[in-house]
Homo-oligomer: A and B are copies of this chain.
């Protein structure tokens, strides 16, 4: 019986440390939970910024992708989550005239909820940095908002969703 209890204790300890590791990886940014599974979200647009030499893919959850593809983006519907995944520029090894994604920079997200985020213009703004272990950005939503001010009349979103055949 003692042995069984000891084994159970070890299992419990191992599980709690595993949960801790997972929690740490998924720590919230600005109080917003990490949007698991975004790596498989569909494309809303791509972008190449020549001012900071980065390439991005702009992705969305189902609500955001449906809104983007039906032109329902001003305002975006509650529940929409838009993600921008950013890499530093590099050149493709075998096609020098192609700029391709190099080092991963960060993944940043806008979470639409007009009521919940009324004080940050209807959006929750969050970012996670780093490839091996995603770390939350915690310098405040105003860092995001100030940069997005030029598009406040587009519901604060720069991205123009791509044209896609149906």
Contact = CB atoms under 8 A, between A and B. Distances in A.
A128 to B, nearest CB: 7
Interface in A88-127: 92-95, 97-101, 103-104, 107
Contacts of A101: 45-46, 162-163
Contacts of A162: 85, 87, 101, 104
Q: What bracket does the count of chain A residues touching chain B fall in?
A: 35 or more
Stoichiometry, as copies per complex, reads 2
A163 to B, nearest CB: 4
Interface of A: 39-43, 45-51, 55-57, 59, 65, 69, 85, 87, 92-95, 97-101, 103-104, 107, 128, 130-134, 150-151, 154, 158-160, 162-166
Pairs of residues from A and B, 3 with the lowest C-beta to C-beta distance, nearest first: A51-B97, A40-B42, A48-B99
Given A48-B100, A131-B164, 10 more contacts: A43-B59, A43-B85, A45-B101, A46-B101, A47-B98, A48-B48, A48-B55, A50-B99, A104-B162, A104-B163
Contacts of A50: 97-99
A95 B49 contact: yes
Contacts of A100: 45-48, 159-160
Contacts of A151: 94
A69 B39 CA distance: 10
